[in-house]
Amino acid sequence: MAEKPIQGEKRVFMTGNEVVAWAALAADVDIMYGYPITPQNEIMHYWTRLAPKYDRKFLQTEDEISAGFTTCGGVLSGKRAFTATAGPGNTLMQEAMTMAEMMRIPLVQVVQQRGGPSTATVIYSQQEVTMTCYGGNGEGLRIVYSTGSHQELFDYTIKAFNIAWKYRFPTCVLGDGYQAKMRESLYIYDPAIKGIEMTNTYPFVGSDGMPGIDREPNHLRNTYNTEEELYEVVKNLVTEYEKISPEVVEYQTFDTDDAEIVIIAHGIVTRAAQAAVNSLREQGIKAGHFRPVTLRPFAGEQLRAIAKKAKKIIVAESAQGQLRKLVTDAIYGESVPLENYFKPGQGITAEELVDYVKGL
């Protein structure tokens, strides 16, 4: 066997796309399937450069529909497999994502959001939140991590494979074009030195023994004949998803204990929100920040407790209210006023959040 791609831990300075490729290598990924689209191309580029050195594989497909389904196929054959995409590519991939939902295929999808709708910009946005969480004809039974730094891109890409295989729900790492293209420092490491054990993978088809006699049959269906049958299947999927949600959900709070004004932001915007809260506190304003790390499942209960005490909530996002929909769904019935700081397809800085809060 080839030696470990990362020995121990080391500090590096690289782009987010390179980080994802290294994380996948460190996570013992067997194969990546992909189709190029900016701003995530370099995940493929780095992967194809690195993978052969460590006996890993890559398949370039004819489009993102195929990339999604081949990833499903790779997983069914027992491989730790992933794909990466953005924007219109993510749209095409939704059909495979719903099949993964229905058949409980633990694929991992990395999304580096670009501007939308349609081709729009290749730069940056947070406009793929609704799609990554709920896209396709399904119920959004996925796990979605929204990262905010290169360190998190590395940590959560590794984690995504373990969570996907542990719970058998498709798992997404939701980054963005800024995270894809910028360079900053982080530590990359061999997961073993952090006590992270990679969840075992196994084939879903071709198991030994006679189904029904030696073992339970592997029911891998996405087609049903009757309403009643489907109803039962979907209800079971939802129950299972809700059962694991408390174990999976992740969030962070910053100075929310006594906060009168709470900024809710996810992904890279959390950096601006954290800095804004520091600056507002220095100026004597009781501000706090709530950051959902998983967008699906969403830390609804935790946010509700904060919303009960706050005098005002501001939802700040680089989209026209996609995060806000998750927020209002989570805190329905609370009377705290909501303000919107929406900048679809554009970055948000701490300075503008500070000015906005002071201007309220």
Partner 1 sequence: MAKTVKIALAGEGGQGVQSVAGIMVEAAYEEGREALYIPNFGVEQRGGVSVAYCQISDEKIGSPKFVYADLVIALSDRAVLRTKQYVNQDTIFIYDTSIEGIENDLPTNAKKILAIPALEIAKKELHPRVFNVIIMGVAIAATDFVDMKAIQTALEKKLGYKFEQDPKLRDLNFKALARGAELVKDLL
Site of interaction with partner 1 (CB under 8 A):
13, 38-39, 119, 121-123, 149, 178, 181-185, 268-269, 271-272, 274-275, 278, 347-352
CB of 119 to partner 1, least distance (A): 8
CA-CA distance, 342 to 210, in Å (whole number)? 57
Task: Give me 283's structure tokens.
Answer: 């100026």
Which is nearest to 205 in space by CA: 57, 98, 349, 103? 103
CB of 157 to partner 1, least distance (A): 19
Q: Which is nearer to partner 1, 198 or 275 (CB)?
A: 275
CB of 130 to partner 1, least distance (A): 23
Would you say 6 and 32 are in contact if contact means Cβ atoms under 8 Å apart? no
H or E stretch covering 227 = helix 227-248
CB of 351 to partner 1, least distance (A): 5
Beta bridge partners of 172: 109, 144
The dihedrals phi and psi of 9, each to the nearest 5 degrees, come to -135, 140
CB of 13 to partner 1, least distance (A): 4
Task: Give me 40's structure tokens.
Answer: 């995530």
Q: Which is nearer to partner 1, 94 or 274 (CB)?
A: 274
CB of 183 to partner 1, least distance (A): 5
Q: Which is nearer to partner 1, 105 or 350 (CB)?
A: 350
**DSSP of 280-328:** HHHTT--EEEEEESEEES--HHHHHHHHHH-SEEEEEESSSSHHHHHHH
Query: Coil, helix or strand for 60?
Result: strand
The dihedrals phi and psi of 329, each to the nearest 5 degrees, come to -60, -40
